[in-house]
Amino acid sequence: MGPYKVKRIILTNVIKLELPSTIKIHPVVNISRVHMYKDQVEGQKKEQPLPVIIKGKEEYKVEKILNKRKFIGKDRYLV
């Protein structure tokens, strides 16, 4: 995920991230969960596809599902 900007530092080990409204996680996280952004390797896709608006919400078209796993009882997909 990311990169996302740090909105503010709450404590020495807790920060609030500036997240888009489409991400459904709490914006306040422990710094152990955050890593410095590294630029992409040459040859990787750098452009995000544009979202499609369906019923007022942003949706993306998935080209291919590469992997699937269970995480805390929910399916997670690598696309």
The residue among 33, 42, 32 whose CA lies nearest residue 2 is 33
**pLDDT score of 1 more than 90:** no
Q: Is the pTM of this model over 0.85?
A: no
Q: Is the dihedral of CA 59, 64, 20, 73 positive or negative?
A: positive
Strand-pair partners of 54: 57
- Locate the domains of the chain by residue range: 5-37+49-78
Task: List, for residues 57-74, the tens digit of each pLDDT value.
Answer: 877 777 888 888 888 888
The 10s digit of each residue's pLDDT in 25-47 is: 899 999 998 888 777 677 766 67
